[in-house]
Structure 1
Amino acid sequence: MSEVTVTVRGEHEARVAPERATIRVSVRAEGPERTTVVEQVVRLAEPVRGSITERADAGSVVDWTSKRLSVRAERPWNNEGKRLAPVYYASIDFTATFVEASELSIWVSDISPWDGVEVGWVNWHLTPETTARIEREVAAQAVGVAVTRAETYAHALGLEGVTPLEIADVGLISSGQPAALAPMMKVRGAAFAADSAPAMEYEPEDIVISATVEARFLAR
C-alpha cells in the first residue's frame, strides 16, 4: 500500500464566562386619552433613563440605547359584542449593557417595582476582541484534531505521514466553494420576568464557541 486518501473531521469547543450582559427594559402606559398616556409614559421613563445614565457615568454600563416613543390605539369589544372607545398604549424601550452580573442584578431589583416598568430579555455575550481571539484558538484546535486523526489512521495502515489536500467547514469539502474556517458560535442567555422575584439574581451560563472542520489528507 503506497498511498491512501484519508478524510477526517476535527472538532473543538471552548467554554468562556460572559463578559457583558445586555438587558432590555420597557416602560409602558395605557389609558383612554392619547395625550395623557404619552405624558405618563414619558414621565415614567425619566427615572429609568436617569438610573442608566448614572451607571454609565460610573462605568458599570458601557453602552445603552433608548428607542423613540411608540403609541398605538385599540378599540376593545365588550361582552355584548359592541366596540368600546379607543384605548391608547404607549411605550419606550431601553437597552443597557452591563460589565458585571452583580451590577445588573442590583439595577433590575431597583427598577422592577417601578410603575410601568417591564424587564425583558438578557443577552450574555463577550467583547468582540475576546470573541475573535477565542474563535481563532478554537479553529486552530479543530484543525489540530483533524491532523491527529489523519495521522492515527495513517499509522494504523502502516504509513508514515500525511500531506494535507483540502480543509473546509463541514459540508464544503470538494464542493467547489472556497474553504474557510468559520467556527460556529453558540450563545446561551437568559430572560427573566420583572415579577418573578422581589430580588433578581443572574447566573449566566458559559458561552460555548465551537468549530468543526473537514479535512482530506494524502497518507504515504
Structure 2
Amino acid sequence: MSDVIITVRGEHELRVSPERATVHLTVALDGPDRADVVERTLALAAPVRDSITSRETAGSVTEWTSQRMSVLAERPWNNEGKRLAPVYRATVEFTATFSDISEMSVWATELSVDDGVSLGYIDWHLTPQTEAEVEREVATQAVGVAVSRARAYAEALGLKNVTPLEIADRGLISEGAGQMSKALAVGGMMSMDAAAPAMEFQAEEIAVSATVEGRFAAN
C-alpha cells in the first residue's frame, strides 16, 4: 500500500506581560515672535531632557532619543477671509524607553502639569532576549500541534506510522501568498483619575503566535 500524504497546520499562542514601554512626548509652543517661541521652547525642553537623563543614570530608562527642534510658520485666516500675521510653532520630540513602569507613571505625572508638554502614544514591548525565547517556544509548540494532528488523521485512517516530510511557515507549503508566522499584538491604555496622585498605565499582554504547515507520509 502506498503512503498517504497528510498536510496539516499547527498553531500556538502565548500571552506575555510587556517588559518595556517607549513613551513618545512632544514639547511645542507657538506665538507671533519667532525668537521668543524658540527661546521658550528650548527652556521648556531642557528640564524634560534632564528628567530623562537622570532616570537613565538611575537605570529606569534604558534608552532615549531627542529630535532637533523644528520651527514652522503659518499665516492663519480670520473670519473675514483676511490673512493675519504669521504664527510660529517650535517643536521638540522625545522618546524614552522605561524598564520601570511605576517610575514612568511618576515621570508622566510630573510632566503633564506643564503647558506645552504633551504625552503621545506608548509602545509596549519585550526585551529582545525574552522575545526570542517566546518565539522559540511558540514555534516548538506549533510544530507539536501539527504532529499531533497528523497522527490523529493517520489513526482515523487505520495507519500507524507517520513520517514528517516538510515543515514550514504558513503559506510556504500551501498555495497562495505567504503570511508571517509570528504576530505581536500590543495594546495599552493611559488614564487619569481625578482623585489619584499619578497617571495609571494599563498595558495589555503581548500576544506572540506561530503558525506552521507540515506534510507527513502515513502508512
Please classify the TM superposition score into its range, dividing by the shorter chain length. Answer: over 0.9
Partner of 1:185 in structure 2?
183
Q: Distance in 1 between matches of 2:185 and 2:55?
A: 26
Aligned-residue offset at 1:189? 2.5
In structure 2, stretches of 5+ residues that fail to align are none
Secondary structure (helix, strand or coil) at the match of 2:53 reads: helix
Secondary structure (helix, strand or coil) at the match of 1:202 reads: strand
Q: TM-score, normalised by structure 2?
A: 0.92
Q: TM-score, normalised by structure 1?
A: 0.92
Partner of 1:211 in structure 2?
210
What is the identity, as a one-letter code, of the residue corresponding to 1:167?
I
Aligned-residue offset at 1:104? 1.0
Secondary structure (helix, strand or coil) at the match of 2:118 reads: strand
Partner of 1:124 in structure 2?
124
Q: Which runs of 4+ in 1 moved over 2 A?
A: 174-177, 189-193, 195-199
Q: Distance in 1 between matches of 2:187 and 2:100?
A: 15
Partner of 1:173 in structure 2?
173
Residue 113 (structure 1) aligned with residue 113 (structure 2): yes
Q: Distance in 2 between matches of 1:51 and 1:163?
A: 60
In structure 1, stretches of 5+ residues that fail to align are none
Partner of 1:3 in structure 2?
3
Partner of 2:152 in structure 1?
152
Aligned-residue sequence identity (percent) comes to: 60
Partner of 1:37 in structure 2?
37
- Alignment check: 8 A CA contact 2:170 2:180 kept: no
Secondary structure (helix, strand or coil) at the match of 1:65 reads: strand
Q: Deviations over 1:95-139 (max 9, x none)?
A: 101112111111111111112100001111001111111101111
Q: Distance in 2 between matches of 1:131 and 1:125?
A: 9
- Number of corresponding residues: 217
What is the identity, as a one-letter code, of the residue corresponding to 2:132?
A
